[in-house]
């Protein structure tokens, strides 16, 4: 499966919407695209995982490196819309204790909020 990243940048805010699979094949593409995002003091970054159906440890390492970069540059970052499966990956590694992560909520008939 392919991977796609859509980035919307406004003054002081960045929303990055990830789509597809993040694995050893697509992680370098993700890293390159995330490295192109300008982060400065006070920038608020949202990584939206609503359309990510798979991520392996290679993808996880790219997310961790980006997280560290945002924080080191004085920004804030939140990971949103993680499926339970992706959240479990962050739980197992202990990253949910460090990162600001919001899980996708299912309300009924597979509707997501």
Q: Specify the pTM.
A: 0.87
User: Distance between CA 26 and CA 112 in Å, rounded?
Assistant: 26
Asked if residue 51 lies in contact with residue 20, where contact means CB atoms within 8 angstroms, the answer is yes
Work out the percent of the chain whose per-residue pLDDT is above 70.
90
Residue 70 contacts by C-beta under 8 Å, 6 or more apart in sequence? 39, 43, 45, 76, 77
Domains of the chain: 3-103 (3.30.750.24)
Of the chain, the end-to-end C-alpha distance in Å amounts to: 25
Helices (H), 1-113: 27-35, 57-72, 84-93
Per residue in 59-91, pLDDT tens? 999 999 999 999 999 999 999 999 999 999 999
């Amino acid at each position: 499966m392919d991977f796609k990243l859509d980035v919307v940048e406004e003054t002081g805010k960045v929303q990055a919407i990830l789509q597809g699979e993040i694995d050893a094949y697509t992680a370098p593409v993700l890293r390159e695209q995330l490295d192109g995002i300008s982060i400065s003091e006070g920038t608020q970054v949202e990584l939206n995982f609503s359309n990510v159906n798979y991520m392996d440890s290679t993808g996880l390492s790219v997310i961790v490196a980006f997280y560290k970069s945002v924080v080191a540059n004085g920004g804030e970052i939140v990971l949103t819309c993680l499926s339970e499966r992706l959240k479990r990956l962050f739980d197992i590694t202990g990253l949910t204790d460090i990162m600001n992560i919001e899980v996708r909520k299912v309300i009924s008939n597979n509707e997501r909020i």
